[in-house]
A = this chain, B = another copy of it.
């Protein structure tokens, strides 16, 4: 088959798929929950990241490489090059998002020049391997991350080429030189192995798509097929850590390191789509289902183990030891988005929304300059604040930290926020689908012909009304589909034409489709029941038996100790001793959701004392100093 190279300013552009993605030049988030985060990302987070990349010397490693100063002066972990590439990707999307920014453009080019200067004549690019005094190239496939780093380089080059096609900065040439080397070295007549950290697969697939190079996609397919046959060395955590235990097409569930597992699944889905491999597609869909049913937190977070940053077994979802790495959430969105483009099933967009609001939005502080690496669902002790100017040695701090020894999460959040508009809507021949809700403008040419322009206004998730006004539409019928989340058990969709009769109908979860010959001024309005909901866990999850969580719209709420109206017993231990009293309905207030509590019967003087508290959205926790917090709350037994 031949790769088509349609230029869409979006991270994932399959040659063909059920849903066609839209680019950052076609969709703009204009405000609201996500718009604010995009603004902070551009104004605060990007400079913050560049500052730390310089300060820690990870960017300087490229300069040292260029002038022969390695290995002596090298700083950072073996994968630090990748943070520069993720940063470049974020900047590329940001330039695309704002429609050009000369200062940002200058910074981008300056970093690209430093990276390019470190590339060796044959295309090899890594500051950690291959020089005299360093371990030799490709000698540490399990832990060396060389291919992983290149995967991120490829994604950066793809972002740049899609947002600034034909730019003369040279990044695409750097990427293709490295990709050509990878294809040569890792062909079936070369090193028949894989990288300990999947990522090069998605990078090669998209680089293949953007440049029309079938060879890159073939190499991605080779990497996907090679995995799962015990190629990599066994170790304490087992080969499942890098998904080298079972071939992708034979596996039933995601397992091992949660970021690795999702990056691999995303890359495998790219391969399945480009090769029309339904067996591979079905295996991935099956893995997605079981992973979401049995190995995913209510927040959308994935990864139950701190030790190996890995999935646990089925039903192993401890709140207090939830690792739920920010990057695993982002990786899960990458996987789900590819499934959504292929299958047009709302459950994929539902999980993306859940993960965006409750994992990705949780990581950065409101200022955009401190981050959660792990996202626990139950913080038992207040913990210590990280100093603003100190690197955090701890991935699982109870407060956000400005930077980490392993600092994958900040640039990963940044590239996701900068490219977020690409996840809002898709098109089909004669249809347009809205998957995520935010104030936004959408303007594109439908694949089946005809310009369409929409304006979405909403205060979502604060309330549930999403109003889509038609600005321009073809003269023929078009189907406008709006996602109705699974939790929306009483949604309605209304068609309010500029002239004519309003039509209202109740809609169930999935996509509410309105097929009309639209005219400018027509409005389609979706009303979702954004009210407090009590969530009961699956009885097979031991860690949260006898508890409930409270959700409202797409947001999971939490009880934070600073929001207790009065003390219920031992202060340091207060959230271990409370129960939710469900004889009083959770009630919405301007501050959050008011609930009734009482203290547990633990043989203390305060047993059974009643109180109240206000729950706040989980993504906003830990913004008011050290505190304890829990998402799942024990339920009082009324027979006592």
Least distance between A455 CB and chain B CB atoms (Å): 42
Q: Is A235 an interface residue (CB 8 A)?
A: yes
Residues of B within 8 A of A393 (CB): 234-236
- A306: CB under 8 A from chain B? yes
Contact status A602-B540, CB under 8 Å: yes
| Band of interface residues on A | 35 or more
**Bound Cα distance A573, B321 (Å):** 22
Q: A577 contacts the other chain (Cβ, under 8 Å)?
A: yes
Report how far A543 CA is from B305 CA in the complex, Å: 15
Interface pair B539/A320, CB less than 8 Å apart: no
Please report which residues of chain A, range 52-89, place their CB below 8 angstroms from some CB of chain B when the two chains form the complex.
none
Contact A394 B316 (CB under 8 A): no
Q: How far is the CB of A552 from chain B (nearest CB, A)?
A: 23
Which residue of B305, B307, B634 contacts A545 across the interface (Cβ within 8 Å)? Answer: B634
Which of B236, B395, B632 lies in contact with A395, CB distance below 8 A? B236
Near B by CB (< 8 A), chain A positions 31-59 give none
Chain A residues 327-385 with CB under 8 Å of chain B are 378, 380-381
Number of copies: 2
A538 close to B (CB within 8 Å)? yes
Contact assessment for A313 and B320 in the assembled complex, using a CB-CB cutoff below 8 Å: yes
Instruction: Select the residue from A315, A405, A540 with max chain B CB neighbours within 10 A.
Output: A540
Which of B306, B307, B380 lies in contact with A315, CB distance below 8 A? B380
Assembled-state Cα–Cα distance A601/B378 (Å): 27
Per-position binary interface string of chain A over residues 233-246, scored 1 when its CB falls under 8 Å from any chain B CB and 0 otherwise? 01111100000000
CB-based nearest B residue for A634: B545
**Would you call B380 and A314 a contact (CB within 8 A)?**
yes
Tell me which residues from 222 to 251 in chain A have a Cβ below 8 Å from any Cβ of chain B: 234-238
- Name the CB-closest residue of B to A384: B238
In whole Å, how far is A124's beta carbon from the nearest beta carbon of chain B?
31
> Which residues of chain B are near A313, meaning CB under 8 Å?
320, 380-381
Of chain B, the residue at the smallest CB distance from A392 is B236
Residues of B close to A539: CB separation below 8 A? 600-602, 634
Q: How far is the CB of A560 from chain B (nearest CB, A)?
A: 17
Chain B hits for A601, CB < 8 A: 539
* A544 surroundings in chain B (CB, below 8 A): 542
Decide if A634 touches B542 in the complex (CB within 8 Å): yes
Could you tell me the distance between the alpha carbons of A370 and B306 in the complex, rounded to whole angstroms? 27
The reply on A576 being an interface residue by CB < 8 A is yes
Query: Beyond A238-B394, A306-B305, A380-B314, is A547–B542 a contact (Cβ under 8 Å)?
Result: yes
Proximity bits, A528-555, B CB within 8 Å = 1, else 0: 0000000000111011111100000000
Within 8 Å of chain B (Cβ to Cβ): is A198? Answer: no
Interface membership of chain A positions 95-111, coded 1 if the CB is closer than 8 angstroms to chain B and 0 otherwise: 00000000000000000
Q: Which residues of B contact A380 (CB under 8 A)?
A: 313-316
18 contacts between A and B (CB under 8 A): A235-B393, A236-B394, A238-B394, A305-B321, A313-B380, A314-B576, A315-B573, A316-B321, A318-B321, A318-B543, A538-B602, A539-B634, A542-B547, A542-B632, A542-B634, A543-B543, A545-B634, A546-B546
A positions within 8 Å CB-CB of B: 234-238, 305-307, 312-316, 318-321, 378, 380-381, 393-395, 405, 538-540, 542-547, 573, 576-577, 600-602, 632, 634
Q: 19 new A-B pairs (CB below 8 Å) besides A312-B320, A313-B381?
A: A234-B393, A235-B393, A237-B394, A305-B307, A306-B306, A306-B307, A313-B380, A314-B380, A315-B573, A318-B321, A320-B542, A378-B542, A539-B600, A540-B600, A542-B543, A542-B547, A542-B632, A545-B546, A545-B547
